[in-house]
Amino acid sequence: MNNYTIEEMYESLGIHKDVFTYGKEIEASLKERFDKIDEIVEFNQLKVIRALQQNRVCAEHFTSSTGYGYNDAGRETLEAVYASVFHTEAALVRPQITCGTHALAVALSGNLRPGDELVSISGKPYDTLEEVIGIRPSTGSLAEYGVTYKQVDLLEDGSFDFAKIKETLSEKTKMIEIQRS
Protein backbone atom coordinates (compact mmCIF):
# COMPACT_ATOMS: atom_id res chain seq x y z
CA MET A 1 0.00 0.00 0.00
CA ASN A 2 1.25 3.46 -0.87
CA ASN A 3 2.05 5.99 1.82
CA TYR A 4 -0.41 8.62 0.61
CA THR A 5 -2.53 10.72 2.94
CA ILE A 6 -6.26 10.87 2.29
CA GLU A 7 -5.84 14.45 1.04
CA GLU A 8 -3.20 13.31 -1.48
CA MET A 9 -5.49 10.53 -2.68
CA TYR A 10 -8.27 13.04 -3.34
CA GLU A 11 -5.82 15.35 -5.12
CA SER A 12 -4.61 12.45 -7.29
CA LEU A 13 -8.26 12.03 -8.36
CA GLY A 14 -8.42 15.66 -9.43
CA ILE A 15 -10.21 16.96 -6.35
CA HIS A 16 -8.68 20.26 -5.29
CA LYS A 17 -7.43 20.60 -1.70
CA ASP A 18 -9.89 23.49 -1.09
CA VAL A 19 -12.83 21.25 -2.05
CA PHE A 20 -11.53 18.50 0.23
CA THR A 21 -11.11 20.96 3.12
CA TYR A 22 -14.57 22.45 2.55
CA GLY A 23 -16.11 18.98 2.57
CA LYS A 24 -14.38 18.14 5.84
CA GLU A 25 -15.67 21.40 7.41
CA ILE A 26 -19.25 20.62 6.35
CA GLU A 27 -18.90 17.08 7.64
CA ALA A 28 -17.64 18.40 11.00
CA SER A 29 -20.56 20.85 11.23
CA LEU A 30 -22.97 17.92 10.77
CA LYS A 31 -21.27 15.67 13.34
CA GLU A 32 -23.96 16.19 15.99
CA ARG A 33 -26.71 15.35 13.49
CA PHE A 34 -24.84 12.27 12.22
CA ASP A 35 -24.22 11.13 15.81
CA LYS A 36 -27.97 11.35 16.53
CA ILE A 37 -28.75 9.34 13.38
CA ASP A 38 -26.15 6.74 14.41
CA GLU A 39 -27.79 6.51 17.84
CA ILE A 40 -31.22 5.92 16.27
CA VAL A 41 -29.76 3.31 13.90
CA GLU A 42 -28.08 1.49 16.76
CA PHE A 43 -31.27 1.51 18.85
CA ASN A 44 -33.32 0.13 15.94
CA GLN A 45 -30.68 -2.48 15.16
CA LEU A 46 -30.86 -3.67 18.78
CA LYS A 47 -34.68 -3.86 18.54
CA VAL A 48 -34.34 -6.11 15.49
CA ILE A 49 -31.68 -8.29 17.12
CA ARG A 50 -33.90 -8.68 20.21
CA ALA A 51 -36.88 -9.59 17.99
CA LEU A 52 -34.77 -12.18 16.15
CA GLN A 53 -33.73 -13.68 19.49
CA GLN A 54 -37.26 -13.59 20.97
CA ASN A 55 -38.63 -15.39 17.93
CA ARG A 56 -35.74 -17.87 17.93
CA VAL A 57 -34.74 -17.29 14.31
CA CYS A 58 -32.42 -20.05 13.13
CA ALA A 59 -31.13 -21.64 9.92
CA GLU A 60 -34.34 -23.63 9.30
CA HIS A 61 -36.22 -20.35 8.80
CA PHE A 62 -34.15 -19.66 5.68
CA THR A 63 -34.89 -22.92 3.84
CA SER A 64 -37.09 -23.10 0.77
CA SER A 65 -40.81 -23.66 0.97
CA THR A 66 -43.49 -25.08 -1.29
CA GLY A 67 -44.66 -21.59 -2.20
CA TYR A 68 -48.18 -22.30 -0.95
CA GLY A 69 -47.52 -20.81 2.47
CA TYR A 70 -48.74 -23.85 4.40
CA ASN A 71 -46.62 -24.54 7.46
CA ASP A 72 -44.02 -22.05 6.21
CA ALA A 73 -41.98 -21.57 9.39
CA GLY A 74 -39.75 -18.97 7.73
CA ARG A 75 -42.62 -16.70 6.70
CA GLU A 76 -44.46 -17.16 9.98
CA THR A 77 -41.34 -16.35 11.96
CA LEU A 78 -40.50 -13.33 9.79
CA GLU A 79 -43.98 -11.96 10.44
CA ALA A 80 -43.54 -12.61 14.18
CA VAL A 81 -40.23 -10.69 14.07
CA TYR A 82 -41.93 -7.71 12.39
CA ALA A 83 -44.74 -7.81 14.95
CA SER A 84 -42.15 -7.82 17.76
CA VAL A 85 -40.16 -4.93 16.28
CA PHE A 86 -43.23 -2.75 15.67
CA HIS A 87 -45.10 -3.83 18.85
CA THR A 88 -48.18 -5.09 17.02
CA GLU A 89 -50.43 -8.11 17.47
CA ALA A 90 -49.41 -9.52 14.10
CA ALA A 91 -47.78 -8.52 10.84
CA LEU A 92 -48.28 -9.35 7.18
CA VAL A 93 -44.96 -9.41 5.32
CA ARG A 94 -45.16 -10.32 1.65
CA PRO A 95 -42.90 -9.48 -1.28
CA GLN A 96 -46.04 -9.37 -3.43
CA ILE A 97 -47.13 -6.12 -1.74
CA THR A 98 -45.12 -3.64 -3.75
CA CYS A 99 -45.84 -0.25 -2.17
CA GLY A 100 -47.93 1.62 0.38
CA THR A 101 -50.80 2.19 -2.04
CA HIS A 102 -50.85 -1.52 -2.84
CA ALA A 103 -50.98 -2.38 0.87
CA LEU A 104 -53.85 0.06 1.40
CA ALA A 105 -55.69 -1.33 -1.65
CA VAL A 106 -55.39 -4.85 -0.20
CA ALA A 107 -56.67 -3.67 3.19
CA LEU A 108 -59.59 -1.70 1.71
CA SER A 109 -60.57 -4.45 -0.72
CA GLY A 110 -60.34 -7.10 1.97
CA ASN A 111 -62.60 -5.22 4.36
CA LEU A 112 -65.18 -3.43 2.21
CA ARG A 113 -68.06 -5.20 0.46
CA PRO A 114 -70.59 -4.01 -2.13
CA GLY A 115 -73.01 -1.60 -0.44
CA ASP A 116 -70.43 -0.50 2.15
CA GLU A 117 -69.28 3.08 2.46
CA LEU A 118 -65.79 4.48 2.99
CA VAL A 119 -65.54 7.95 4.55
CA SER A 120 -62.38 10.05 4.51
CA ILE A 121 -62.45 12.46 7.45
CA SER A 122 -59.21 14.22 6.52
CA GLY A 123 -60.11 15.46 3.04
CA LYS A 124 -59.20 13.99 -0.31
CA PRO A 125 -56.71 11.10 -0.19
CA TYR A 126 -53.48 11.23 -2.14
CA ASP A 127 -53.66 10.79 -5.90
CA THR A 128 -52.85 7.09 -6.32
CA LEU A 129 -55.46 6.14 -3.73
CA GLU A 130 -58.08 8.05 -5.77
CA GLU A 131 -58.00 5.29 -8.40
CA VAL A 132 -58.21 2.53 -5.78
CA ILE A 133 -61.31 4.12 -4.27
CA GLY A 134 -62.80 5.17 -7.59
CA ILE A 135 -62.81 8.95 -7.06
CA ARG A 136 -60.96 8.97 -10.36
CA PRO A 137 -62.44 6.17 -12.49
CA SER A 138 -60.28 3.08 -12.70
CA THR A 139 -60.85 -0.55 -13.61
CA GLY A 140 -61.18 -2.67 -10.47
CA SER A 141 -61.80 0.28 -8.14
CA LEU A 142 -63.90 -0.03 -5.00
CA ALA A 143 -66.58 2.10 -6.68
CA GLU A 144 -66.76 -0.38 -9.55
CA TYR A 145 -67.57 -3.06 -6.96
CA GLY A 146 -70.34 -1.03 -5.32
CA VAL A 147 -68.46 0.63 -2.46
CA THR A 148 -69.48 4.27 -2.03
CA TYR A 149 -67.20 7.08 -0.89
CA LYS A 150 -67.75 10.31 1.02
CA GLN A 151 -65.28 12.80 2.36
CA VAL A 152 -65.17 15.48 5.01
CA ASP A 153 -62.55 18.16 4.54
CA LEU A 154 -60.44 19.39 7.43
CA LEU A 155 -61.17 22.79 8.93
CA GLU A 156 -58.97 25.72 7.91
CA ASP A 157 -56.79 25.24 11.00
CA GLY A 158 -56.13 21.61 9.98
CA SER A 159 -58.36 20.05 12.64
CA PHE A 160 -61.21 17.60 12.13
CA ASP A 161 -64.70 18.93 11.43
CA PHE A 162 -66.42 16.78 14.05
CA ALA A 163 -69.90 18.19 13.38
CA LYS A 164 -69.63 17.42 9.66
CA ILE A 165 -68.14 13.97 10.38
CA LYS A 166 -71.09 13.10 12.63
CA GLU A 167 -73.50 14.32 9.96
CA THR A 168 -71.74 12.28 7.22
CA LEU A 169 -71.51 8.90 8.95
CA SER A 170 -74.35 6.48 8.29
CA GLU A 171 -75.38 2.85 8.72
CA LYS A 172 -73.56 2.14 5.43
CA THR A 173 -70.25 3.52 6.76
CA LYS A 174 -67.97 0.53 7.36
CA MET A 175 -64.58 2.22 7.32
CA ILE A 176 -63.12 5.64 8.03
CA GLU A 177 -59.94 6.75 6.27
CA ILE A 178 -57.55 9.29 7.77
CA GLN A 179 -54.53 10.42 5.81
CA ARG A 180 -51.45 12.06 7.26
CA SER A 181 -48.94 13.33 4.76
Q: Is 68 contained in some domain?
A: no
- Interior/surface letters 153-179, b for 16+ CB within 10 angstroms, e for the rest: eeeeeeeebeeeeeebeeeeeeeebee
Contact 89, 144 (CB under 8 A): no
Number of domains in the chain: 1
Residue type, 88: T
The pTM for the full model equals 0.60
Residue 132 lies in domain: 100-177
CATH at residue 171: 3.40.640.10
Q: Give me the residues paired with residue 177 across strands.
A: 120
Q: Is 21 contained in some domain?
A: no
From first to last of its 181 residues, the chain has per-residue pLDDT tens of 578 899 999 999 999 999 999 999 999 999 999 999 999 999 999 999 999 999 999 999 988 877 777 788 899 999 999 999 999 999 988 888 889 899 999 999 999 999 999 999 999 999 989 999 999 988 999 999 999 999 999 999 999 999 999 999 999 999 999 987 6
Closest CA to 117 of 178, 169, 167: 169
Q: Is 117 contained in some domain?
A: yes
Our measurement of the distance from residue 115's CA atom to the centroid of its chain's CA atoms, rounded to an integer in Å, reads: 29
